[in-house]
Structure 1
Amino acid sequence: MTRPRGFLRRAGLLAALLALSACSITPPPPLVPATPGVTVVPKEKLNEVVVGVDEVKGGYNPHTLAAQSTVTTALSSLLLPSAFRSNPDGSPSLDRTLLVGAEVTGAAPYTVTYTLRRDASWSDAAPIAAEDFVYLWQRMRSEPGVVNPAGYRLISDIRSREGGKVVEVVFAEPYPAWRDLFRDLLPAHLLKDAPGGWSSALTESFPATAGPFAVRTLDQPRGEIILERSDRYWEQPAALDRVILRRASQSATLDALRSGDDQVALVRADSITTTNLAKLAETTPLTTEAVPRGEVVQVLFRPASPNLADVKVRTAVRALLNRDELIGVGARGGPGAALRADSLVVPPSRPGYRATVPQDGVDAAALLTEAGLTRPDGGKWGRDGRPLQLVIAAPGGVEPYATIANQVQRQLSLSGIESEVLTTPPDELFGELLADPGGTGGQGDRTVDIAVVPLVGSGDSGTVLASAFGCPEPDNAGSSTTFPGNPAGFCDPAVQKIVEEALTGRLLLSDALAQVEPLLWQQAVSLPLFQVTDLLVVLPQAQGVATGAPFAGPLSGAAAWRREDR
C-alpha cells in the first residue's frame, strides 16, 4: 500500500522526537555530591533582624489589660493603623500614613473630624474606614477590662461621610485629649460578626493588618514570630525583608547575642542578666538602654470587697506591707528598680511626674482594733471568732505580678492576716473578677480583696485618672446600661467631681492631681510600686535601632531598621 508523502514526513519527525526523548531520560550530573535521603535546597539570603524576647504567648489585643506585654506593644505598632502616634517627646503627632487630617470642627456639640487616605486599606484589600472607628468606640466604652476607656465613654455618636473615609466623632462633653483616641484600630469587617468577637480578637494572631509588616508565622509553641515586609502597604516599604521575634531564656538570649544569631534583645533583665551583659560587652560590641513600659505595678485594696470596705482596714493592711521588699522582689535588681512609683497616676518616666506618697507613719494594729478586729494571743486577726481571710489575685503566668502576689501573702501572714493567692487567666481576671459594675469581683463564694495588677499610664494622665479611679457612668450614647467599674471597684463622689473636671479640661491636670492624690492616698485604694522596664541590647549589625517614642517601644521604628554585617 502506498503511503502519502505527508504521512511519511510525520512518521520521520515522530521517530526523531522519540530518539531525542530517549537520549534525554538520563538526568544531568548533580552540582553538589548527593546524600541519600537529603534534598539540597539553596538558602536564600534575607535581610533580617532577629530580636530576642522573654515571651511571645498569645493575647495581642493592645486595648485589653489582659494582653499588656512587650510583644503586644511591638506587634500593634507594626501591624495596626493609628490616627496619631507619639513623638520622641511623647506629644501626639498625626499619622499621615493613615490620615490626611484631623481637627476639632464643632464646639456644640464638641466634634472632631478625621479624613482618611483613600489608599489606606487592610491586608485583605478592605478599606480602613469609619466602621473601624465605630467598632473600637463601641467595644472600648462597654467591654470590661479595657485600657483607659474614659475618653471613649465621652463619645455620643460617630458619623460617616464619603464612603467611610470622613469620620465625624461627636462628644457629649469637650475632650482635650482626643488625639489619644483611635490608636491601634482593629479590622471591624472581620471582627464585628465573628464568633467570640472582642473576647477572642487577636488571641492567636491578626486576622488582617495594615502596616509596613505582615505576619508570616506566629508560632507560640516554638516561641517565634516572623514578620515580613508587607507588599500591600501603600506607603514607604520597610527596609528589612523581615523581623523575627524569638523567645528564649535570658541566658540563651545572651548566648545568641554572643554568637550573633540575635542582633537585638528586648528583655526584662534582672541583676544577674545585667551583670552578664556588662561582661559580654567586654568582648562583644553592644549598646544597652533601659526602655520603660507604660505599666506601673500596683497593689489594689478593693473597697468593693466586704472585707476591705472599711477604710481603716484598707489603711492597716497597706501599712503591713513592706513596700521596699515588694519592689525588690518584683524588679529583681533590674532597671525597673530605678523607677520607683511614688505617684498614683503619672508613671515615673513621664514628664510631669511628682512624688506624692505620704510619709506619715500608721499604727496598723490600732486601726484594725478600731475597726472591730481582734488578735487573740498574738494569733490571727479576725472578727467575732472568725479569722480575717483575704483573696489576693494576680494574672496567672504574668510577671512580676504573680511573684509579688505571693510576697504580699507572705508578708500578711507574718503580720497575722490569713490570705490565699488566686492566679487566674488574665482575661478572666480583668474581664470578669475585677469588672463587675457593683465591684464585688466574686468567684463562687470568693471575693477578690487585693489585686496585683498593672496601671497603664501610657495615655493622657487625665484619662488614666478617670479610668482608674472614676465612678461607673451611664452610657452617653443613650442606652440604659452602665459602664463597667474600675478594677478597684472604687467610687467616691468627692473624687469624682475632680476627675470629671480634669477629663473634660475644666481643671488643669496639675491642679486636679494636687487635689485628688491626697484624697486617694487617704482612701488607701492603691499602693504603686515601680514602673516595669525592659532592657534593649543592640549589636552593631542592627542599624537604626533606638528606644522609640515613650511607651511605643523600640520595634515601633523597625520599618527603618537596617542590617549591616561587617
Structure 2
Amino acid sequence: MAVAVVAALAVLSSCSNTPPPPVVGTVAPKPSAAAAKPGEIVVGVDSITGGYNPHALADQSTITTALSTLLLPSAFRTAPDGSPQLDRTLMVSADVTKTEPYTVTYRIRGDAAWSDGAPIAAEDFLYLRAQMRDEPGGVDSAGYRLITDIKSEDSGKVVQVTFATPYPGWRSLFSSLLPAHLLKDAPGGWEQVLKTSFPATAGPFSIKQLDIPRGEIVLERNERYWEQPAVADRVTLRRADPAGLTDALRTGHDQLVVARSDAGGVAMLQSLGDKVAVKSAPRPTVVGMFLKPSGQDLADERVRTALVNLLDRDEVIKVGTGGGPSIRADALILAPSQPGYAPTGPLPHDPAAAQVLLTQAGYSPISGIWVREGRPLSVTLGAPADREPYLAVAKEVQRQLVAAGVQVKLVTPVADQLMRSGGTDAGPNILIGPRPVGDNPAAVLASVYGCTPNTTDAKTVLPGNVVGFCDESLQPTIDAALNGSKSLAEAIGIVEPRLWRQAVAVPLFQLADSVAARAELTTGDLTAPLNAPFASAVRWQRKQN
C-alpha cells in the first residue's frame, strides 16, 4: 500500500510546484527508546495497529481516535460535555443560512492547509460525503445521506451544503476531514484509506515515524500549522504489555498511559500510588452482538430471541471486560457515558424460555443438539481477528451456544472485511462488533437500525447497518428523530422496545481505557466522553525536574 501511495504522489507532485507530502509507512525495527527527551511526552498504549480511518467501523480504536484528533482537521469537535463545538482552528463560521431548502454554509479559514500546501477546501467536504454515503462499514452515514448538494465558493473556502430535510444534527458531520486531492484517485480506493499511513495531515502535530514492528509512533509539532503551536515538541506513542506500561510509568520513561486494561492491569497501575493518577476514559464504541434477521433459521424472531435467552450475558461481559474499566451497556442507542442514558433492557438469560421458543419454531433436542427436519440449528458467528476484545467475546458466545445445543462456526476475517460484509448474504449471521457512539445519537439510530432509502434492492443496506436490519414500521419514527420533528427521548421510547423484542442487537459494554498520568504532566481533561484523552494534547506540558 505504501509503495502504491508513493507512486501516486509522485505523479501528483510532477504537476505541482509544491513539495510532495511526507508519506509515513513502516520502517525497520530499532532498539527500544529510553527515557523521554526534554520537550517529549511519551504515551504508553496497548496497540498501535492500523488501519487509522476514523470513519470506518473496522478501524475504531484508541490509536485511531488519537491520530485523527492530532492530525486531521474537523469542522466541529466534541466538547467535554459531549456536545459538538465549532473548531475555530479550521472554521471561521458554520451556520444554517437557509431553511428552504435547508442549507448550512461553512466558511473555512483562508490559511488552513494540508501539509503539502494544498488548501483545505470544499473538495474535502465533497469527498468525505461521497464515501460516507456509499461505502459499507461506515460511521454516521445517515446524516451524509441527507445531503443533496454541495456547492463551492471563494476558491473552495466557502462551502454550501444543502439537505433534503431539516437536519438539526448537522454539526456532527465533516469531522476528521481527509485530503481529497491525494485520496480520490489513490489505488485501492476507500478500503485502503489510512490503512497504514497518512499521505497528508493538517493538525497541531505531524508524523515523523510510524513503526509498527517496533510498536512506536512519533508525532512532532507541525511547523506548518497555522494556529497556536503545540506546547510539546514531540508526542511519542509506544506500545507495551501491562507490566511494561506500569514499569515505564514508574521509571518516568512514560508520562502517560492510555490502554485497555483488565482488573490485573488496573491493579498494576494503581500500585504506583501517589506517582500517578489512574482514571478511566470511555471510548466512543459499544461492543455488541448483532443477529442478522434472515436465512433459514434467524429470519424467525423466535429463534433469534431463543439464542439471546440462551446466553449468560453477565459472563460474556465478564470475559470481554476482564474486570477492567469498560462499562456495562443496557441500551441500544445511547451509551452509558452519554447524557440521558438509562437501561432499557436487555433480554434475560432464560434457558427455559429459549427451549419453549425453539420448540414453537419446530426444533427438537436430539442427542443434545437442536434439530428441525433433520437439520441441526447452526449459525455462523463472526468477529474481527485483528481486534480485541471482540474475538474473546465471540469465543465465549460460541462456547455458551454450543453447550446449549447450537452448532456454531466461528469465522475471524480481518475487521475491514467483516464490517463491509456484515449486512450481505456473504457475511456471518451473528456478528460481534462495534456500535459507534457519537454526539448525535439520532444519526447513530438511523445509521445502525434504519432502512435504506430510495431502493428496491433488498441486498442494499446502509453503510453502518451491519446486519441489514430494516423495520419499515419504525422508519417514520427514526426519520422524525433525525429531522428533529420528534425528540430523541420520544423516539427511543418507541423504537427500543421493538428492537429488543426483535432480538437483532444485544449491547454488551462500552469500551473504556485506563488513563494513568504522572504528576509532572500538565494536561486538560483526560476523561471527557467521546474525545478523551487526546483532545487536550496540544496543551500537554511536562514539568522538568
Alpha-carbon distance change, 435 to 376 in structure 1, aligned in 2, over 3 angstroms: closer
Cα distance in 1 for partners of 2:253, 2:290 equals: 42
Cα distance in 2 for partners of 1:346, 1:368 equals: 31
1:414 pairs with 2:403? yes
Q: Secondary structure at the match of 2:397?
A: helix
- Counterpart of 1:510 (choices 489, 494, 505) is 489
CA contact (8 A) 2:347 2:500 kept: no
Cα distance in 2 for partners of 1:295, 1:381 equals: 34
Cα distance in 2 for partners of 1:474, 1:240 equals: 50
Post-superposition shift, 1:545?
4.8
Alpha-carbon distance change, 286 to 519 in structure 1, aligned in 2, over 3 angstroms: same
Name 1:369's counterpart in structure 2.
359
Name 1:299's counterpart in structure 2.
289
Q: Secondary structure at the match of 1:243?
A: strand
1:564 pairs with 2:543? yes
1:62 pairs with 2:54? yes
Name 2:197's counterpart in structure 1.
205
Q: Secondary structure at the match of 1:520?
A: helix
Cα distance in 1 for partners of 2:77, 2:128 equals: 17
Cα distance in 1 for partners of 2:57, 2:464 equals: 14
Q: State the superposition RMSD in angstroms.
A: 1.6
Q: Secondary structure at the match of 1:381?
A: strand
1:497 pairs with 2:476? yes
- Counterpart of 1:315 (choices 294, 305, 313) is 305
Cα distance in 1 for partners of 2:255, 2:283 equals: 21
Q: Secondary structure at the match of 1:354?
A: coil
CA contact (8 A) 2:291 2:298 kept: yes
Alpha-carbon distance change, 548 to 208 in structure 1, aligned in 2, over 3 angstroms: farther
CA contact (8 A) 1:191 1:197 kept: yes
Task: Give the counterpart letter for 2:117 in structure 1.
Answer: A
Alpha-carbon distance change, 485 to 260 in structure 1, aligned in 2, over 3 angstroms: closer
Q: Secondary structure at the match of 1:277?
A: helix
1:524 pairs with 2:503? yes
1:88 pairs with 2:75? no
Deviation digits for residues 362-382 of structure 1 (CA, Å, limit 9, x no counterpart): 7101100111111124x2112
Post-superposition shift, 1:554?
0.8
CA contact (8 A) 1:548 1:556 kept: no
Post-superposition shift, 1:459?
3.2
1:341 pairs with 2:333? no
Name 1:468's counterpart in structure 2.
448
Which aligned pairs between 1:424-435 and structure 2 lie closer than 5 A? Answer: 424-431=413-420, 433-435=421-423
Post-superposition shift, 1:541?
2.1
Task: Give the counterpart letter for 1:352 in structure 2.
Answer: G
Cα distance in 2 for partners of 1:177, 1:306 equals: 39
Cα distance in 2 for partners of 1:248, 1:359 equals: 38
Cα distance in 2 for partners of 1:355, 1:256 equals: 39
CA contact (8 A) 1:158 1:170 kept: yes
Post-superposition shift, 1:483?
4.9
Cα distance in 2 for partners of 1:492, 1:484 equals: 16
Deviation digits for residues 279-307 of structure 1 (CA, Å, limit 9, x no counterpart): 221xx511011100011111111103432
Task: Give the counterpart letter for 2:185 in structure 1.
Answer: D
1:387 pairs with 2:376? yes
Task: Give the counterpart letter for 1:343 in structure 2.
Answer: A
CA contact (8 A) 1:548 1:555 kept: no
Deviation digits for residues 55-88 of structure 1 (CA, Å, limit 9, x no counterpart): 0012000000010000000000010000011221
- Counterpart of 2:342 (choices 327, 350, 354) is 354
Post-superposition shift, 1:45?
5.2
Q: Secondary structure at the match of 1:515?
A: helix
CA contact (8 A) 2:106 2:158 kept: yes
Task: Give the counterpart letter for 1:512 in structure 2.
Answer: A
Cα distance in 1 for partners of 2:467, 2:220 equals: 41
Q: Secondary structure at the match of 1:451?
A: strand
- Counterpart of 2:122 (choices 130, 144, 169) is 130
Alpha-carbon distance change, 484 to 146 in structure 1, aligned in 2, over 3 angstroms: closer
1:185 pairs with 2:177? yes
Tell me the number of residue pairs that the alignment of Structure 1 and Structure 2 aligns: 505
Q: Secondary structure at the match of 2:525?
A: coil
CA contact (8 A) 2:141 2:462 kept: no
Deviation digits for residues 208-232 of structure 1 (CA, Å, limit 9, x no counterpart): 0001000000111111000000010
Post-superposition shift, 1:397?
2.2
1:540 pairs with 2:519? yes
Alpha-carbon distance change, 332 to 285 in structure 1, aligned in 2, over 3 angstroms: same
CA contact (8 A) 1:473 1:482 kept: no
CA contact (8 A) 1:474 1:482 kept: no
Post-superposition shift, 1:158?
0.3
Name 1:15's counterpart in structure 2.
none
Q: Secondary structure at the match of 1:347?
A: coil
Cα distance in 2 for partners of 1:79, 1:276 equals: 31
CA contact (8 A) 1:392 1:421 kept: yes
Q: Secondary structure at the match of 1:221?
A: coil
Task: Give the counterpart letter for 1:537 in structure 2.
Answer: A
Task: Give the counterpart letter for 1:348 in structure 2.
Answer: P
Q: Secondary structure at the match of 1:342?
A: coil
1:222 pairs with 2:214? yes
Note the residue ranges of structure 1 that are not aligned, 5 or more in a row. Answer: 1-42, 476-480
Post-superposition shift, 1:553?
2.0
Post-superposition shift, 1:205?
1.2
CA contact (8 A) 2:80 2:531 kept: no
Q: Secondary structure at the match of 1:375?
A: strand
Cα distance in 2 for partners of 1:90, 1:254 equals: 30
- Counterpart of 1:287 (choices 253, 277, 302) is 277
Cα distance in 1 for partners of 2:453, 2:136 equals: 13
Identity %: 51
Name 2:113's counterpart in structure 1.
121
Alpha-carbon distance change, 459 to 356 in structure 1, aligned in 2, over 3 angstroms: same
Post-superposition shift, 1:549?
3.8
Q: Secondary structure at the match of 2:417?
A: helix
Alpha-carbon distance change, 160 to 314 in structure 1, aligned in 2, over 3 angstroms: same
1:242 pairs with 2:234? yes
Runs of at least 4 residues of structure 1 off by over 4 A? 358-362, 481-485
Post-superposition shift, 1:194?
1.0
Note the residue ranges of structure 2 that are not aligned, 5 or more in a row. Answer: 1-34
Cα distance in 2 for partners of 1:543, 1:72 equals: 23
Task: Give the counterpart letter for 1:73 in structure 2.
Answer: T
Post-superposition shift, 1:494?
1.4
Cα distance in 2 for partners of 1:65, 1:352 equals: 24
Alpha-carbon distance change, 549 to 159 in structure 1, aligned in 2, over 3 angstroms: farther
CA contact (8 A) 1:538 1:545 kept: no
Cα distance in 1 for partners of 2:36, 2:299 equals: 64
- Counterpart of 2:412 (choices 415, 418, 423) is 423
Cα distance in 2 for partners of 1:463, 1:149 equals: 8
TM-score, with structure 2 as normaliser = 0.90
Q: Secondary structure at the match of 1:216?
A: strand
Cα distance in 1 for partners of 2:475, 2:95 equals: 29
- Counterpart of 1:405 (choices 394, 400, 405) is 394
Cα distance in 2 for partners of 1:147, 1:124 equals: 27
Name 1:327's counterpart in structure 2.
317
CA contact (8 A) 1:145 1:430 kept: yes
Q: Secondary structure at the match of 2:445?
A: helix
Post-superposition shift, 1:485?
6.8
Name 1:22's counterpart in structure 2.
none
Alpha-carbon distance change, 547 to 150 in structure 1, aligned in 2, over 3 angstroms: same
Task: Give the counterpart letter for 1:170 in structure 2.
Answer: T
